[in-house]
Structure 1
Amino acid sequence: MSDRSVGRAFIGSFTSAGGRGIVATAVDVRTGALTETGTSDAVADPTYLVATHTAGGPVLYAVSESAEGAVAAFDIAGPAPRPIGTPVAVCGDAPTHLALTHGHLVTANYGCGSITVLPVADDGTVLPASAVLRHEGTGPDGDRQLGPHAHQVLPDPSGRWVLGVDLGTDAVRSYSLDTAKGELTLHRVTAMRPGTGPRHLAFHPAGGHAYVLGELEPVVTVCRWDETGGVLEPLGEVPLFPEGVSGPAYPSELVVSRDGRHLWVALRGTDTIAVLALEETGEKAEVLAFVPCGGHWPRDLAIDPAGIRLYAANERSGDVTWFDIDPRTGIPQRAGSLRVPAPSCVLLI
């Protein structure tokens, strides 16, 4: 196998549930198959990952979804992740997500409902937190929305804004980032329908629309995104529940195809992947089909760099399953799987 036919993927997992930390794999780009190359359990519960390239080589960052809450950096030039320095506290409880933008890591701290900013040095090491912003508010769900629960952070396609998705307050917040000071300033709060429990958000590749995924109610809210004003405007909802299927569904992740024609959503509980067709502008979405996720409790979805395969991290069955995507219909067809205990996310680079 030539170097051009090999990619890499990294899988985060719950060490508290038997996972082995970060699992590094080689990817056969011709078939999508994953082959494990090494692991690192240097931090507890590394449940979400991002990667970048520095002057010293590729670096991987992981949140430690623990009560203390931390971010750790790893050298991934070799077959197994190698820790760089020591984990850095996020000054928040149970970070579930992180993003890298303008030389800063930003984390969503679910337990306490806050957002943390941590500068990144030129060599890729993580510096102490430069800002922590706590969300405020509640929602109607007496079990899950007694307070704020930040679940995701990500930059918008223009790079001008950082968005924070909060399950506990039924809201998406947009922030501006002062890169010199490493500080976030709240710009706008966009309310989602009460009780939907927004978990994650994904942008259409054209940049003018975004899709907010509810966890407490299986629904996608289609929104217009104004990058000039930093304004998110809800336009309508698309329910996500397979006809004739009983029992609850807990959406976990959504990804948009590279060409902007399809949207895929992982549904825990029903153990399915919803396939949605998107209008050319991205303004309308329609459910086409539901397909089995290949395991149990799909926590994450990821698309490969070529845009031809979809990967599902099935947390409770302990596997990562990959699918070939039909380029016409967007329907994923199962192609294989790799045993990985308690996987939480998949990152393909």
Structure 2
Amino acid sequence: MGDRTADAAEHRVYIGSFTSSGGRGITTAALDPETGALTELSTTDVLADPSYLVEGVHEGVLYAVSESAEGAAGAFVAEGRGLRLLGAPVPVGGAGPTHLDVAWPWLLTAHYTSGGVGALAIADDGSLTGPPHVLHHRGSGPDPARQEGPHAHHVLADPSLNWVLSVDLGTDSVRVCSLDEHTGTLRPHSETALTPGNGPRHLAFHPDGEVAYVVNELRPLLTVCRWDAEAGTLEPVAEVPIALEPAPGAVPEAGRGDVRAYPSAIAVARDGRFVWVAVRGADVLVTFSLAGGAEEPRRAGAVDCGGRWPRDLALDVWRDRLYAANEHSGDVTWFDVDPATGQPRRAGSLPVPAATCVLFA
């Protein structure tokens, strides 16, 4: 069978957390590829509130966004059993950044509090340099408590790498921009309006690159969209309820007590057969089958997330396993996935205070 310890050392997982809520910054863990088990190796808290992480194009380099009032991003390089900060953190030009993505040679950031997106230059060694290039969003939505202004929550490059999409919870829309690879300038190209009051939070593409799924936070809905990479346009075609009916191991539709359901993150199977959505408040993982086609997700079941307030949901890049970062219970729980039904089955957990995201690198 070989040396399982040696195998695990070759696979690293990084977990972000809120240092302002008792988290330890970024946790480096070893992954056992046979069982999916995580073993903590080290932590680093040199960057405040590293709530989201993304892998860089340089070997061993990853980036973290600091979800602070000032807003910053930091570059890290794997070293020994942990991470070393690669240069000083760089301001992103926006408040409360919640997400980031790499569009070489730029690091893209989404600014929730100030409402906009930005781009930071990535140097030849993988470190970050400023100043940032920022595009401010405008608009609002019908929810006065959450949509008084723009709140960009998610940013990513599309599969063709020709466009940048940003999901704005405050304006109920997804913006498409072009990115000048030489200057980092983001230019608005199109904007897709979603149902007012939905509060879109995250977006993920189907492996075919022609369908995208938007998870809405303020209403538990999954919006299915057609993506035209040539035209750079996103077209909503359906809204699917993220129903929370009683299921084995799950909770009733009303959630736990009087807590509302707040969908948070989405993962799409590499073979395009299933979609999974994490739902906070109700604290479940909902499975959708795509047996009828990429544009026809059908709810196939729900299971308990293994903790409380699943903020992020990540798919193992080597095996069909799911990892939920449960912020309020302070753990990362992993699940084996039934290859026939797509249903997750809890397999273990690792204590990580104030966990916010999981990155396989």
TM-score of the aligned structures, taking structure 1 as reference length: 0.97
Aligned to 1:267: 279
1:40-51 superposed matches below 5 A: 40-51=44-55
Match of 1:341 among 334, 353, 356: 353
1:9/1:347 contact within 8 Å kept: yes
Shift of 1:121: 0.5
Shift of 1:142: 0.8
Aligned to 2:321: 309
CA distance in 2: counterparts of 1:78 and 1:71, whole angstroms: 22
Q: Secondary structure at the match of 1:229?
A: coil
Q: Across the two proteins, how many residue pairs are aligned to each other? A: 347
Q: Is the counterpart of residue 331 in structure 1 residue 339 in structure 2?
A: no
Residues 78-132 of structure 1, C-alpha deviation per residue, up to 9 Å, x if partnerless? Answer: 2111111110001110100000012110100000001010010110010103410
CA distance in 2: counterparts of 1:23 and 1:222, whole angstroms: 34
Q: Secondary structure at the match of 1:129?
A: strand
Match of 2:91 among 89, 107, 120: 89
Aligned to 1:295: 307
Aligned to 1:135: 137
1:130/1:183 contact within 8 Å kept: no
Shift of 1:52: 2.1
Aligned to 1:177: 179
Shift of 1:157: 0.7
Match of 1:16 among 20, 44, 48: 20
1:209-248 superposed matches below 5 A: 209-243=211-245, 244-246=252-254, 247=258, 248=260
Q: Is the counterpart of residue 149 in structure 1 residue 161 in structure 2?
A: no
1:241/1:249 contact within 8 Å kept: no
Shift of 1:307: 4.0
CA distance in 1: counterparts of 2:133 and 2:55, whole angstroms: 22
Gaps of 5+ in 1: none
* Over 3 Å off, 4+ runs: 2-6
TM-score of the aligned structures, taking structure 2 as reference length: 0.94
**Matched AA of 2:328:** R
**Matched AA of 2:294:** G
Q: Secondary structure at the match of 1:16?
A: helix
Aligned to 2:294: 282
Residues 267-300 of structure 1, C-alpha deviation per residue, up to 9 Å, x if partnerless? Answer: 0000100000114641111111010000000000
CA distance in 2: counterparts of 1:348 and 1:274, whole angstroms: 22
CA distance in 2: counterparts of 1:204 and 1:283, whole angstroms: 9
Aligned to 1:258: 270
**Matched AA of 1:7:** H
1:15/1:44 contact within 8 Å kept: yes
Residues 116-170 of structure 1, C-alpha deviation per residue, up to 9 Å, x if partnerless? Answer: 1001011001010341000000000010000000000001111111100000000
CA distance in 1: counterparts of 2:176 and 2:346, whole angstroms: 37
Gaps of 5+ in 2: 246-251
2:93/2:132 contact within 8 Å kept: no
Give the percent of matched residue pairs that are identical in Structure 1 and Structure 2: 55
Q: Is the counterpart of residue 78 in structure 1 residue 80 in structure 2?
A: yes
2:104/2:122 contact within 8 Å kept: no
Aligned to 2:34: 30
